[in-house]
């Protein structure tokens, strides 16, 4: 979906997917299907790189996976190993040149990289590299990583990856093709998910989310661990723990919003965590109401949980248009007010005269929430009790998630009471940080919640979460 500037969500940045399978036919088609299952993680650009016999082929472009590729392109992309990437650009403008995977050549090697996450030391690394004569053609962290790989390469491939992983800080789930091998790396905090699957023929698959395994005929094996890298080649999968600290901080918003409900991350079902969050929310912020309904699709599962716990019947009072997309023409000024109506519409019979519990996953700017509430009131809702399955977002994310400037975070600059009024609801309840942790079933030390707690799992730059290299 093309996001107009006041859309009201955090934005995921990327999904990555890779397969190692010597002689595997149609490897690029399988990457294509895998990326389709990860499309919710990024809709602006898509790309695939595939290698066979030292020859790297790649194709990447702005657009959805199904728009970027057609059969004739896939047919040309044979490979024994392949990786793919979907991207949601974090800057207002976005450029083809930033599409991934990034393919670089270095000493007779072609290296392909696909990265999900954000490095907090990219800027200083970049400056250092520029000091030493590096030039940059994109504004992606991947290019920084590629340089480090090149500089470390004389150590041999495995040591080079280890050294590189040690130099970069922040969030990264990384897929690399080099020397015909498939390498997966997860950052020491495990901020971004990465899991391993295996096909019937023994081919290994790496994916941002487990929901992509089934449709390529793979089954989930395990998660890549924080601080672990896996190297897959004809000898199978080798695991190297390159960082032994025990500092796990998986992004809790993967459960709240980003990941698909049918994924399992680090052992926890996303669906179940959302049901649980809804239940806890019902306990923490009960309401007297006629129905529970969600802002679809992201609020649906938590709303079900709220309904189960509270006993208030669940209804589908909002319908989401399935046919908007990147190329959808946004309404001009005159029709701007009703932009939200193009995306969501009310089932009047459900809400008319009713007292409604409305569940959404999060409130970021609050603008969209306010418009949805207005729509429901127009449709005759008697009372609206807004329930949010994450705590108030108050801080910028530095780990690969697009957050507005902190001054635009309604939860950061307004009290609960004023947010309630801004949004126009009769009551407002956010899940507590503890409740959210409980819903995920990991304890606080295992999860990142910095965007609502301010407790970043590592030191972050003081100046704010803007992205660093937006120049070209």
Q: Is 251 annotated as a binding residue?
A: yes
Strand ranges inside 344-435, DSSP E: 344-346, 355-360, 383-388, 427-430
Residue 359 within binding range of ligand SF4, rule CB under 6 A:
no
**201 binds, options a second copy, ligand ADP, ligand SF4, none, Cβ within 5 to 8 A by partner type:** none
**Among a second copy, ligand SF4, ligand ADP, none, residue 211 binds (CB under 5-8 Å by kind):** a second copy
Shortest-Cβ-distance residue relative to Mg ion: 298
- Asked if residue 122 lies in contact with residue 468, where contact means CB atoms within 8 angstroms, the answer is yes
Cα separation, 132 vs 163, in Å, equals: 18
Q: How far is the CB of 403 from ligand SF4 (least distance, A)?
A: 7
Q: Which listed residue (17, 19, 21, 40) binds ligand ADP by CB under 6 A?
A: 40
Binding of ligand SF4 by 251 (CB under 6 A):
yes
N-term to C-term CA, the chain: 24
Q: Which of 113, 401, 425, 431 binds ligand SF4 (CB under 6 A)?
A: 401
Q: Residue 400 Cβ, how far from ligand SF4 at the closest point, in Å? A: 7
- Which range of residues in 232-240, 266-274, 294-302, 386-394 is near Mg ion by CB under 5 A? 294-302
Known binder of ligand: residue 310?
A: no
From 86, 89, 1, 88, select the one nearest 297 (Cα to Cα): 1
14 as an active site residue: the answer is yes
Query: Half-sphere exposure (CA, 13 Å, Cβ side) for 353?
Result: 1
Query: How far, CA to CA in Å, does 144 sit from each of 113, 147, 361?
Result: 11, 5, 34
Nearer to ligand SF4, 152 or 439 (CB): 439
Closest CA to 393 of 235, 252, 199, 193: 252
Tell which one of 166, 217, 286, 296 touches ligand ADP (CB under 6 A).
296
Work out what residue 257 binds among ligand ADP, ligand SF4, a second copy, none; the CB cut-off runs from 5 to 8 Å by kind: ligand ADP
Q: In angstroms, what is the minimal distance from the CB of 413 to ligand ADP?
A: 22
DSSP 8-state code for residue 391: P
Are the C-beta atoms of 203 and 24 separated by less than 8 Å? yes
Question: Whose Cβ is closer to a second copy: residue 227's or residue 317's?
Answer: 317
298 near ligand ADP (CB under 6 A): yes
Active site residue: 14, 38, 50, 145, which one?
14
**Any binding-site annotation on 266?**
no
Q: Give dist(CA 267, CA 300) in Å, integer.
A: 22
Closest CA to 9 of 432, 299, 279, 260: 299
Q: How many residues does the chain have?
A: 472
443-472 positions binding ligand SF4, by CB under 6 A: 448-451
Minimum CB–partner distance for residue 40 and Mg ion (Å): 11
Among ligand ADP, ligand SF4, a second copy, none, residue 9 binds (CB under 5-8 Å by kind): ligand ADP
Q: Is 210 in the site for Mg ion (CB under 5 A)?
A: no
Q: Which of residues 130-149 bind ligand ADP (CB under 6 A)?
A: none
CB of 178 to ligand ADP, least distance (A): 31
Decide if residue 99 touches ligand SF4 (CB under 6 A). no
CA distance 283 to 306: 8
- Please tell me whether residue 371 binds ligand ADP under the rule CB under 6 A: no
Please pick, from the candidates 138, 249, 252, 298, the single residue that binds Mg ion as defined by CB under 5 A: 298
Region for 353 from its dihedrals, namely left if φ exceeds 0, alpha if ψ lies in -120 to 50, beta otherwise: left
Residue 69: CA count within 13 A, CB half-sphere: 27
397 is in an annotated binding site: yes
Q: Is 178 annotated as a binding residue?
A: no
Q: At 300, phi and psi to the nearest 5?
A: -60, -45
Establish whether 448 is an annotated binding residue: yes
Strand order from edge to edge, sheet including 195-199: 55-62, 45-52, 81-87, 14-20, 204-207, 195-199, 218-223
**Residues paired with 19 in a beta bridge:** 82, 205
By the criterion CB under 6 A, which residues form the site for ligand ADP?
9, 40, 257-261, 296-298, 319-322
Could you give the residue numbers annotated as active site?
A: 14
């Amino acid at each position: 979906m093309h996001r107009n500037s006041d859309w009201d969500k955090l934005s995921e940045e990327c999904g990555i997917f890779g397969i190692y399978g010597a002689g595997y036919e149609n490897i690029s088609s399988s990457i294509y299907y895998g990326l389709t299952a990860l499309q919710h993680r990024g809709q602006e650009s898509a790309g695939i790189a595939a290698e066979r016999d030292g020859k790297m082929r790649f194709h990447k472009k702005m657009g959805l996976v199904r728009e970027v590729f057609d059969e004739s392109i896939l047919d040309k992309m044979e490979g024994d190993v392949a990786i793919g990437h979907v991207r949601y650009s974090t800057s207002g403008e976005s450029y083809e040149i930033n599409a991934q995977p990034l393919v670089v050549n270095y000493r007779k090697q072609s290296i392909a990289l696909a990265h999900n996450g954000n490095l907090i030391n990219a800027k200083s690394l970049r400056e250092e590299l520029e000091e030493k004569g590096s030039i940059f053609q994109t504004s992606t962290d991947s290019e920084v990583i590629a340089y480090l790989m090149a500089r470390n390469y004389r150590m041999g491939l495995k040591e080079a990856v280890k050294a590189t992983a040690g130099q970069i800080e922040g969030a990264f789930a990384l897929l690399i093709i080099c020397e015909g091998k498939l390498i997966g790396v997860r950052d020491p905090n495990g901020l971004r998910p990465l899991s391993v699957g295996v096909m019937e023929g023994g081919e290994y698959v790496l994916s941002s989310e487990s929901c992509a395994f089934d449709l390529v005929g793979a089954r989930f094996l395990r998660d890549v661990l924080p601080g672990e890298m896996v190297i897959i080649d004809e000898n199978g999968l080798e695991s190297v723990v390159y960082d032994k600290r025990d500092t796990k901080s998986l992004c809790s918003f993967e459960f709240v919003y980003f990941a698909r409900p049918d994924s399992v991350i680090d052992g926890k079902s996303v669906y179940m965590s959302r049901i649980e969050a809804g239940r806890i929310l019902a306990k923490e912020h009960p309401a007297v109401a006629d129905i529970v309904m969600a802002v679809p699709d992201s609020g649906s599962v938590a709303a079900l949980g709220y309904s189960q716990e509270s006993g208030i019947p669940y209804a589908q009072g909002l319908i989401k248009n399935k046919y908007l997309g990147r190329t959808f023409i946004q309404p001009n000024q005159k029709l701007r007010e009703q932009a939200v109506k193009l995306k969501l519409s009310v089932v009047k019979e459900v809400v008319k005269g009713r007292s409604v519990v409305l569940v959404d996953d999060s409130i970021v700017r609050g603008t969209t929430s306010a418009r949805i509430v207005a729509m429901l009131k127009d449709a005759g809702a008697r009372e609206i009790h807004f329930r949010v399955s994450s705590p108030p977002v108050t801080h910028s994310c530095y780990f690969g998630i697009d957050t507005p400037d902190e001054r635009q975070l309604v939860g950061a600059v307004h009290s609960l009471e004023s947010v309630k009024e801004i949004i126009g609801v009769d009551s407002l309840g956010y899940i507590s940080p503890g409740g959210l942790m409980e819903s995920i079933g990991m304890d606080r030390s295992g999860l990142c919640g910095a965007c609502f707690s301010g407790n970043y799992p590592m030191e972050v730059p003081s100046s704010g979460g803007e992205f660093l290299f937006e120049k070209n």
